[in-house]
Amino acid sequence: MPILHAVQSALGHVPKDAVPLIAAELNLSRAEVHGVLTFYHYFRKDPPGRHVVHVCRAEACQSVGAVALEAHAKKSLGIDFHQTTADGAISLEPVYCLGNCALGPSLMIDDRLQGRMSPQRFDALVARARAQS
C-alpha cells in the first residue's frame, strides 16, 4: 500500500505499466497488485483532471441534499464518478465523509473544502476552476 500511495502521489495515478514492476519488486503476482488497485477506490489508473472534485456521500450530507448535488454534478460535467471531463479539466470522485457534517452538503475541490453546496455554487466553483486552468 505505501508503494502504491507513493507512486500515485508522484504521478497522480498508478500507471498500468507500473503494476508488473511493483509486483516483481515485492515478489507478488500482477493479479495481487491489480486486486489492491481495484479494491481501493482511492487509487486511480488514469491521470486525474487538472482539478478534482470530491462530493461527500455520507449520510449527514445525503440528508441535506447531497443526492441532488451529486446528480447535478454528474449531469453538469457530463461524467460519472471516477471519470474526467473530455477537456481534462475536472475529475469527479465520491468521498464518504469530509468531516463537515454541520455544513452539508459538502464537497472538496482540489484541497478546498466547501460547505452548504448548491447546484448554483457548484457551477460557479467549476467555472472558476476551469478559468484557472
Give tens-digit pLDDT for 16-53: 999 999 999 999 999 999 999 999 878 999 999 999 99
Question: The cell 466553483 sits on which residue?
Answer: 125
Residues counted in the chain: 133
**Which part of the chain is CATH 3.40.30.10?**
51-132
Check residue 57 and give its pLDDT.
96
Rg of the Cα atoms in the chain:
16
pLDDT above 80 (res 133): no
Pick the CATH number of 51-132 from 1.10.10.10, 2.60.120.10, 1.10.540.10, 3.40.30.10: 3.40.30.10
